Amino acid sequence: MNIAVVARALALVLGLCLSLAVAAAEPTAKKDKPAAKPKAAAVSMPTIIWRGDRATARAFVRELAKNFETTKQARIELQPFNTISGLDAVNDGSADMAGSARPPMPDRAEEKQLTFFPVAWDGLALITSPKNPVNDITLKQLYDIYLGRLTNWKELGGEDAPINLYAVASPLDGIEYSLRNLLYHHGDQAVSVPRLYVNVEKLEEGIALDPHALGVSTFSGVHANHGIKVLSVEGMSASPASVADGSYPLYMLLFVVSREDGKNYANVEKFVQYTNSDAAKAILRQHDLVPYADAPSLPGNEPVRTAFIDTHLGTAPAASAVASTGASGGTPVSAPVATADFLIRTAPNAATTQEAKDRAARLEIEKKNGTKPDGAVAGH
């Protein structure tokens, strides 16, 4: 017999035996393995639709939304666009929550049913190119620039070159509104701005390339941008500390906005409560924002700030401003009423709002009765 044929036959027999042995062992091996654990069912969370301006989106909403989802209470779908789109979407129910860098606009019908929850204080940052030698701007200069009355950097101690003013084009943009409201007491004040951008991020990109540019953004948005120079205002630089103590005059509030009768309000309320948690405050501080609760004196400082700005603009007599604020710069007599009005518009559900309303009501009664708060007859 051929040896090669015999070898092949033996190899086939051995291979068959080995296959049978493996097949016989497999059931035993499977029985020895522990049973696989069933996969945990995916946690289903409700969705909150957020729409609003890019300023609040990058300032705190993106990161707070991400961390809020880890609490398993709800997920947040972000739709950043602009202020009006967010507020109107919440008003008509196509979004649950909005972001805004301004308070409600008086008499605008779409905003009357909305509640503005203050989250953080930020500084309005006047920005230019690092190539621009100017480092400081006065409130009066800013006032005149936006009205087209001051047009050359030479008048600010800079080069003999035109001031190229930039602004966000969308109507009633939160940042633009807040600045104009402080300067002119009208957030929708008509101004002379030839260069308009779709959002604040595009505006910053344009300003970084133009040594003669000027525009406004948020301090939290540009403080780490080395392609941007932030000007001081009246010699005061924006910072979390100068915003918190009110010494930097151009500070503003960032809000979360919702409708209390909205179909998803219960979940929005959970997020609003989360914004006041220690974890959320830590995130806000990392972004150089001042958590709303960290500066409890700022709402009451509003009349003092208004007097300061108006005095520097020359729109209020200095003597009358000193008299209204007191020689030491204390709270003006009208502060309780003004504070209550400010809080009712911006934080209607806060405990401090009710306290302010009570103080204002007492003041009105005292004025009507002709007595001072301490019971003395007014005028004596």
316 CA to centre of own chain: 30
**φ/ψ of residue 278, rounded to 5:** -60, -40
Place of tokens 């707070």: 64
Backbone angles phi, psi at 332, to 5 degrees: -70, 160
* Backbone dihedral angles phi then psi of residue 220, each to the nearest 5 degrees: -60, -30
What is the rounded CA–CA span in Å between residue 4 and residue 365?
Answer: 120
Structure tokens at 5: 């044929």
pLDDT at 8: 54
Could you tell me which residues come within 8 angstroms of residue 347 by beta carbon, excluding any fewer than 6 positions away?
116, 117, 118, 292, 299, 353
The pLDDT score that the predictor gives to residue 378 is 37
pLDDT of residue 315: 85
Which pLDDT score, from 0 to 100, does residue 170 have?
85
pLDDT for 321 equals 39
| Model pLDDT, residue 327 | 33
- Tell me the pairing of strands 97-100 and 136-137: unpaired
pLDDT in tens, 320-352: 433 333 333 333 333 455 556 656 655 555 555
Distance CA 149, CA 163 (A): 11
Mean pLDDT split into 10-residue runs, the chain, 380 residues: 50 48 46 56 83 94 96 96 96 97 93 96 98 98 97 97 96 94 94 93 96 98 95 97 97 97 96 97 97 95 94 71 37 48 57 64 64 40
Residue 34's H or E segment, with its range, is: none
Q: Residue 251: beta bridge partners?
A: 123
DSSP string, 151-168: -BGGGGTS-SSB-EEEEE
Nearby residues of 315 by Cβ (< 8 Å), 6 or more positions away: none
pTM for the predicted model, two decimal places: 0.75
Nearest CA to 160 out of 203, 212, 119, 116 is that of: 212
pLDDT per position as a tens digit, 56-108: 999 999 999 999 999 999 999 999 999 999 999 999 999 999 999 999 998 89
Q: What dotted CATH number matches 47-295? A: 3.40.190.290
User: DSSP states of 99-149 as a string?
Assistant: EESS-PPTT-GGGTT-EEEEEEEEEEEEEE-TT----EE-HHHHHHHHTTS
pLDDT of residue 362: 64
Q: How many CA atoms lie within 13 A of 270 on its CB side?
A: 16
What does residue 246 show for φ and ψ, rounded to 5 degrees? Answer: 80, 5
Q: 3-class SS at 264?
A: coil
All residues at 6 or more sequence positions from 252 whose CB lies less than 8 Å from its CB, including other chains: 101, 102, 121, 122, 123, 124, 175, 178
Interhelix angle 139-146/174-184, nearest 10 degrees: 110
Residue in the structure block whose two tokens are 């004596």: 380
Query: pLDDT at position 90, please?
Result: 98
CA–CA distance, 269 with 266 (Å, rounded to integer):
5
